[in-house]
């Protein structure tokens, strides 16, 4: 009987201190949610840094993560094509799905939605989180989503977000200064993950290893890229950790450009444990590739 | 009003309406996918009764076209319609309804999901998978012999998640019209009476073994009246498992198997009870993202006799150059049929070609 009582008291204590349960698609969004929510939130995410966020299997274990969540924060723009099935499978009627792309200025929005253009960027390029200036509109969405769940904490959320954005602002200046010497340089990327990143740093993406977003490299396309890399004197080929290196390495061998593996999400490496250290790592690694 | 004026007015109205209608439609239209499959087949069993074992001339035929529509009905429910145009006679084939059902996804007590319509029932694992998503070309012998093409019936299905901590455990119970029973056993009901209702249930659990590997285990049952004249009942028990390891986006290994046990009462000379069983086990290895190779072993008795047996194996390979928009599958299978005093083996070679139009959904486990 004593145990039962103790259990009930513990359970009630648990309820009264219940944090807002937030699940995010990417680990980077989990970091931002933690920054805004502090100890008012408990945060989990679905896609690991070594997984391609476009292609995630619909696993019941992901549904379990969403089953008791209050909020599901997503990048939107159909990056998470798999999300509706996981949301439905979670059977969570009180789950709010938040699209963080609302306030972001979108790039590469096609005039015509058609599978002939590749199958993964039908609503524009969704990789906007790699431009740290987009963290502000994303955080605004997070603040308002958390506030809807817990209106009493609005001031805390806003203050946390502002403090983080201040810290991030200083970092952004540092990153921009570091990359300034390389402005206008041409690079090649595997997938169109780096459009926002390049746009921010004034880099010029001359081509992609993928012929179209989501379509695997082909020998003819790689041959064209080799010619391009040679003629433009391109030094770096950016590849996300989850793509096969054989096509980029073949191009690198033929041209002397450097294959630069850059994570697009935090958590994959010791040096990239959160969003700021991710951009730190990506900027520093790219700078050293371009320096050569 | 002069006619030209009227035409002009109509034209203006259309001009005003048109853009908004177009915008509204793109968001309301259901997802539509069309998946035709073609088959080139040859086997060495066609002249066996003449005492000759030679491969037949490869026959190129239309296998099936599947047209699937899916959309949310409202925030609580979605609907699925799967139409099928079966081969091989492309000209005279009639479009049929493979599945048509609505699923209530949320808003019900106990977070229950409710499905109503005609659908592939949740019995075992492979029964819920459409042939275009199989790694092999032909169905396992067990599936063919005990379920017919598939267990697909009119019914109502309810499922709940059981409170097993972080493990996803689902219990599904179906009340089926019973029309699919004849398809599985070849028994034709000529009593003119309405069929007796059938029931299926499946309990499945999903275990995360590591960041890269998962295991699903399911236990199903199926019961109904297979002989309406004597009201004879059958019971199926089925154990299924699926293991998948995916160390990278380019490589994966699936091992899946099912074991089915059948008991039924039959009236031959007198009432008698029959037990029989069947199983399949396959492995499919995907590499360089676009290729896959695999093997399957098959063994199955028949619903009405443990003496009517078939066994065999299949070796298969797949090539999917651009996701699942285009697929080529090759299969070699050897099947041995055994009856008392009769044994026959047939070798067959199949090449399947399929393509898929429309949005591509994320793959379920
Ligand atoms: Zn992308």
Kindly write down the DSSP assignment for every residue of B226-237, as one continuous string. EETTTTEEEEEE
- Phi then psi for A41, rounded to 5 degrees? -125, 150
Q: Provide the pLDDT confidence category of residue B29 given band limits of 50, 70 and 90.
A: confident
Q: Provide the pLDDT confidence category of residue A98 given band limits of 50, 70 and 90.
A: very high
pLDDT of amino acid B188: 58
The DSSP element (H or E) to which B221 belongs, if any, is strand B213-227
pLDDT of amino acid B14: 39
Rounded mean pLDDT of B181-199? Answer: 70
pLDDT of amino acid B249: 86
Residue at B239 is within a domain: yes
DSSP-assigned beta bridge partners for residue B251: B248
What is the total count of domains within chain B? Answer: 1
Residue at B89 is within a domain: no
Q: Verify whether the Cβ–Cβ distance B325 to A115 is below 8 Å.
A: yes
Q: Is the pLDDT of residue B183 over 80?
A: no
Q: Is the pLDDT of residue A264 over 80?
A: yes
* Two structure tokens written together for B310: 């078939």
pLDDT digits (tens, 9 = 90+) for B318-348: 999 887 789 999 999 999 999 999 999 999 9
Chain A's closest residue to B113, CA to CA, is A91
Provide the shortest C-alpha distance from residue A168 to chain B (in Å). Answer: 31
CA distances from B199 to B18, B81, B359, B362 (A): 50, 23, 34, 30
Q: Is the pLDDT of residue B155 over 50?
A: yes
Q: Which of residues 198-217 of A touch B (CB under 8 A)?
A: 214-216
Residue at B5 is within a domain: no
pLDDT of amino acid B7: 46
pLDDT digits (tens, 9 = 90+) for B255-314: 999 999 999 999 888 889 999 999 999 999 999 989 999 999 999 999 998 899 999 999
> For tokens 């299905």, what's the residue?
B157
Residue at B303 is within a domain: yes
pLDDT of amino acid B190: 60
* Two structure tokens written together for A233: 């004197």
Domain limits, chain A: 2-173, 176-291
Helix, strand, coil % (nearest 5) of chain B?
15, 55, 30
Q: What is the CATH number of the domain that holds B184?
A: 2.40.160.10
Q: Is the pLDDT of residue B138 over 80?
A: yes
pLDDT of amino acid B187: 59
Handedness of CA B266, B269, B271, B272 (dihedral sign): negative
Chain A's closest residue to B210, CA to CA, is A61
Question: A35-61 burial, b for 16+ CB within 10 Å, e for fewer?
Answer: bbbeebbbbebbbbbbbbbbbbbbbbb
Residues of A whose CB is below 8 A from B289: 216, 244
Host domain of residue B208: 101-355
Beta strands in chain A (DSSP E): 20-24, 41-45, 71-74, 96-99, 186-189, 204-208, 236-239, 258-261
pLDDT of amino acid B23: 37
Rounded mean pLDDT of B184-191? Answer: 59
Q: Which of B168, B360, B361 sits opposite A60 (nearest CB)?
A: B168
Q: Is the pLDDT of residue B86 over 80?
A: yes
Q: Is the pLDDT of residue A30 over 90?
A: yes
Q: Provide the pLDDT confidence category of residue B149 given band limits of 50, 70 and 90.
A: confident
Q: Check if the beta carbon of residue B288 is closer than 8 Å to that of residue B254.
A: no
Distance CA B64, CA B88 (A): 7
Phi-psi region of B260 (alpha: psi -120 to 50; beta: other; left: phi over 0): beta
pLDDT of amino acid B189: 58
pLDDT of amino acid B343: 94
pLDDT of amino acid B362: 77
Average pLDDT score, chain A? 91
pLDDT of amino acid B186: 56
Rounded mean pLDDT of A182-199? Answer: 95
Count Cβ atoms below 10 Å from residue A215 Cβ, excluding itself.
19
% of chain B residues with pLDDT over 70: 89
CA distances from B65 to B14, B149, B183 (A): 37, 15, 21
* Two structure tokens written together for A57: 């299997």
* A23/B93: higher pLDDT: A23
Q: Is the pLDDT of residue A91 over 60?
A: yes
Q: Verify whether the Cβ–Cβ distance A60 to B106 is below 8 Å.
A: no
Q: Is A166 helix (H, G, I), strand (E, B) or coil?
A: helix
Check for a shared fold between A2-173 and A176-291: yes
Q: Which of A55, A60, A91 sits opposite B111 (nearest CB)?
A: A91
Q: Which of B218, B184, B207, B158 minimizes the C-alpha distance to B302?
A: B184
Q: Provide the pLDDT confidence category of residue B35 given band limits of 50, 70 and 90.
A: very high
% of chain A residues with pLDDT over 90: 84
Torsion angle, CA of B171/B174/B180/B181, rounded to 10 degrees? 80
* Two structure tokens written together for B17: 């309406």
The alpha carbon of B36 is separated from its chain's Cα centroid by a whole number of angstroms, namely 15
Chain B interface includes A243 (CB < 8 A): yes
Q: ipTM value of the model?
A: 0.87
Domain A176-291 bears CATH identifier 3.40.50.1980? yes
Q: Which of A50, A88, A119 sits opposite B105 (nearest CB)?
A: A88
Phi-psi region of A38 (alpha: psi -120 to 50; beta: other; left: phi over 0): left
Provide the shortest C-alpha distance from residue B21 to chain A (in Å). Answer: 17
DSSP-assigned beta bridge partners for residue B71: B79
Q: What is the CATH number of domain A2-173?
A: 3.40.50.1980
pLDDT of amino acid A50: 92
């Amino acid at each position: 009987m004593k145990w039962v009582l103790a259990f009930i008291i513990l359970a009630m204590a648990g309820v009264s201190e219940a944090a807002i349960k937030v699940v995010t698609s990417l680990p980077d969004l989990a970091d931002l949610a933690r920054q805004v929510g502090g100890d008012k939130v408990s945060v989990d995410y679905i896609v690991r840094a070594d997984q391609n966020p476009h292609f995630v299997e619909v696993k019941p274990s992901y549904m379990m993560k969403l089953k008791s969540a209050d909020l599901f924060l997503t990048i939107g723009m159909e990056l998470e094509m798999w999300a509706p099935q996981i949301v439905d499978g979670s059977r969570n009627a009180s789950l709010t799905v938040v699209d963080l792309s609302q306030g972001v200025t979108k790039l590469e929005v096609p005039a015509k939605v058609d599978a002939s253009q590749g199958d993964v960027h039908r609503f524009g390029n969704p990789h906007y989180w790699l431009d740290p200036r987009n963290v502000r509109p994303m955080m605004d969405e997070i603040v308002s989503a958390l506030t809807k769940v817990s209106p009493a904490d609005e001031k805390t959320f806003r203050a946390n977000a502002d403090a983080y954005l201040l810290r991030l602002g200083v970092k952004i200046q540092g990153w921009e200064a570091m990359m300034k010497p390389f402005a206008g340089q041409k690079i090649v990327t595997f997938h169109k993950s780096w459009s926002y990143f390049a746009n921010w740093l004034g880099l010029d993406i001359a081509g992609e290893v993928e012929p179209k977003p989501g379509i695997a490299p082909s020998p003819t396309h790689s041959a064209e890229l080799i010619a391009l890399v040679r003629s433009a004197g391109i030094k770096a080929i950016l590849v996300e950790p989850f793509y096969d290196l054989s096509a980029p390495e073949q191009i690198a061998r033929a041209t002397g450009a450097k294959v630069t593996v850059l994570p697009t999400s935090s958590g994959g490496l010791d040096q990239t444990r959160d969003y700021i250290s991710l951009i730190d790592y990506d900027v520093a690694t790219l700078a050293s590739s371009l320096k050569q | 009003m002069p006619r030209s004026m009227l035409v002009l007015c109509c034209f203006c109205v259309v001009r005003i309406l048109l853009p908004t209608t177009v915008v509204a439609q793109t968001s309301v239209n259901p997802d539509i996918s069309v998946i035709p499959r073609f088959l080139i087949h040859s086997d060495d069993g066609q002249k066996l009764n003449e005492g000759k074992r030679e491969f037949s001339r490869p026959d190129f035929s239309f296998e099936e076209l599947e047209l699937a529509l899916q959309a949310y009905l409202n925030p609580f429910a979605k609907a699925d319609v799967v139409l099928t145009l079966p081969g091989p006679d492309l000209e005279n084939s009639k479009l049929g309804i493979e599945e048509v059902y609505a699923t209530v996804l949320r808003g019900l007590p106990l977070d229950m999901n409710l499905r109503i319509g005609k659908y592939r029932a949740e019995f075992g694992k492979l029964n819920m998978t459409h042939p275009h998503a199989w790694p092999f070309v032909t169905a396992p012998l067990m599936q063919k012999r005990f379920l017919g093409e598939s267990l697909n019936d009119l019914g109502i299905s309810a499922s709940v998640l059981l409170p097993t901590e972080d493990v996803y455990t689902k219990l599904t119970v179906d009340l089926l019209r019973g029309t699919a029973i004849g398809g599985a056993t070849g028994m034709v009901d000529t009593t003119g009476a309405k069929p007796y209702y059938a029931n299926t249930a499946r309990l499945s659990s999903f275990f995360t073994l590591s960041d890269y590997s998962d295991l699903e285990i399911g236990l199903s049952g199926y019961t109904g009246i297979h002989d309406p004249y004597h009201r004879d009942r059958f019971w199926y028990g089925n154990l299924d498992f699926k293991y998948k390891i995916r160390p990278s986006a380019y490589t994966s290994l699936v091992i899946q198997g099912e074991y089915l046990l059948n008991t039924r009462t039959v009236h031959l000379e007198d009432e008698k009870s029959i037990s029989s069983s069947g199983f399949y086990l396959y492995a499919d290895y995907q590499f360089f993202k676009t290729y896959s190779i695999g093997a399957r072993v098959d063994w199955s008795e028949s619903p009405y006799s443990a003496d009517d047996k078939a066994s065999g194996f299949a070796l298969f390979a797949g090539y999917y150059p651009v996701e699942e928009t285009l697929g080529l599958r090759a299969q070699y299978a050897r099947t041995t049929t055994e009856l008392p005093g009769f044994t026959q083996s047939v070798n067959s070679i199949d090449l399947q070609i399929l393509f898929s139009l429309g949005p591509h959904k994320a793959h379920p486990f």
